[in-house]
Amino acid sequence: MASLNKDFIKAALSTAEGPTGDPLVRNLEWTAACETFASVKLHFPGVTEADTLDAAARRTHGAIRAAAGEQGVVLTSLIVEIVDEAGSVLHTSNTGPKTNEDQNAKLQSSGEAHTAKQPSAPLAQPKPQDGAGGIPGVDKIIAVGAGKGGVGKSTVSVNLAVALARKGHAVGLMDGDIYGPSLPTMLGLGAHEMIVRERMIEPFHVHGIKAVTIGKMVDPEKPLIWRGPMAHGAFKQLSEQTSWGELDYLIIDLPPGTGDIPLTMAQSLQLSGAVIVCTPQKVAQDDAVRAARMFQQLGVDVLGVVENMSYFIGDDGKDYDIFGRGGAERMAQRLGLPFLGAVPINMALRENSDSGNASANFEPQSAGGETLPRALELLASNLESQTALAGLKQGRTKPKLTIS
């Protein structure tokens, strides 16, 4: 069976004519494709009429979708952009997963839309989590997010996953940071090749965990310039088309901010909760508050706050409060959120992260002493407790009575 890639798109456009009569492939400026979604840019010199550009975009859509249908390729999202000589977008056309608005419009056009009398009392506003499902075999799904970049969200995700695995849990780690994947470096995946069996991604087995990242599916040096539908498709593919097997925990490392990916995640996956990563200084706290409010608005329980880079441990063994130790903990108290722990930074943590040796952070001789391993183990223990409490509140687990 063929797969969706650049060569596939070029072949599909080679037999379709553009507005000037030439094959569309001659006007192809740039394309990106990954399994089930694609983005295409075209340039037609001298053509500026809106109707002509729209027709060219529709021909492009039709050619690619026809080729996909003939070859049995699943195409969930396709973006076509027509640009001028300077690269400015003149026309955009995209198709992606159907939204509620699409369904409502379909119902109205078919006469099936409900036009009954209005209810006497306003209905509760549904939240994205209300219709979300789980992943077969995965018990608990935990998102790790941050209000801004550079606070060490991926560092916390990786070490949290490894710490839980060292406590005896079956753990998966998904690199949901579609635009800036860090797991290839932090887990040492450079020499590993991605394997796909029957359209399912096989996760990498490293440091006692199962891991998957978009960083092993694309050119490592090219920017991932993806619009919403492309990012949506990539996230869905990683979460739903990976052979996770049986897992106690799936940790999802999210991109920073409050954009498309957290919303996609909340709509598609039933989460046990979210962890907010923040450094101590005020400017990081401001954005962390927004991240916490975002999860709450999406109907996701915030399991707690992690203060990363809480302090620096120098070679002299002394602690240095570079960013103002304790700021994130005070923020958590102000918001009424659990504080999961403070993670220090030292030279060993940086070296182990850059070399892809996350397991070394848990051995005193390779972690710069006992402080870092102790902090990471405490973080995992606190997360276990908060996840259990959240499960009781959500009605997903029941208390157990053990008599000995």
Judge whether 162 and 249 are in contact, CB under 8 Å: no
- 111: which residues sit within 8 A by CB, 6+ positions away? none
Please state, rounded to an integer, the average pLDDT across all residues of the chain: 83
Please state the length of the chain: 404
Residue 19 has pLDDT above 90, yes or no: no
pLDDT for 61: 85
- 209: which residues sit within 8 A by CB, 6+ positions away? 161, 162, 165, 171, 172, 173
Give the CATH architecture of domain 6-95.
2-Layer Sandwich (3.30)
Chain mean position to CA 91 = 28
Q: Measure the CA–CA gap between 302 and 273, rounded to whole angstroms.
A: 6
| Cα maximum dimension of the chain | 83
Q: Measure the CA–CA gap between 255 and 228, rounded to whole angstroms.
A: 13
Q: Measure the CA–CA gap between 259 and 147, rounded to whole angstroms.
A: 10
DSSP bridge partners of 92:
81
95 versus 364: which is more confidently predicted? 364
Domain ranges of the chain: 6-95, 129-394
The mean pLDDT value for 89-118 works out to 48
Pairing of strands 138-145, 273-278: parallel
- 268: which residues sit within 8 A by CB, 6+ positions away? 132, 133, 235, 236, 239, 240
CATH fold of 129-394, please?
Rossmann fold (3.40.50)
- Cα–Cα distances (Å) from 153 to 63, 251, 257, 363, in that order, read 41, 12, 11, 21
Q: Measure the CA–CA gap between 97 and 91, rounded to whole angstroms.
A: 20
pLDDT for 64: 86
Q: How confident is the model at residue 112 (pLDDT cuts 50, 70, 90)?
A: very low
pLDDT for 37: 72
pLDDT in tens, 284-293: 998 999 999 9
Tokens for 215? 């960083």
Nearest in space to 36 (alpha carbons), one of 6, 79, 65, 4:
4
pLDDT > 90: what percent of the chain? Answer: 43
Amino acid (1-letter code) at residue 188: G
Judge whether 135 and 244 are in contact, CB under 8 Å: yes
pLDDT for 226: 65
Judge whether 273 and 142 are in contact, CB under 8 Å: yes
Residue 101 has pLDDT above 60, yes or no: no
- 306: which residues sit within 8 A by CB, 6+ positions away? 156, 275, 276, 277, 278, 328, 340, 341, 342, 343, 379
Nearest in space to 148 (alpha carbons), one of 314, 281, 327, 332:
281
Q: Which of 119-123, 197-201, 227-231, 262-266 has the lowest mean pLDDT?
A: 119-123
Q: Measure the CA–CA gap between 36 and 290, rounded to whole angstroms.
A: 32
Q: How confident is the model at residue 118 (pLDDT cuts 50, 70, 90)?
A: very low
Report the range out of 36-50, 204-218, 258-272 with the highest average pLDDT: 204-218
- Cα–Cα distances (Å) from 261 to 35, 179, 256, in that order, read 18, 10, 9
Judge whether 295 and 285 are in contact, CB under 8 Å: no
365 — phi, psi (to 5°)?
A: -70, -25
The mean pLDDT value for 78-87 works out to 78
Q: Measure the CA–CA gap between 15 and 74, rounded to whole angstroms.
A: 20
pLDDT for 396: 67
Nearest in space to 257 (alpha carbons), one of 332, 142, 149:
149
DSSP bridge partners of 81:
41, 92
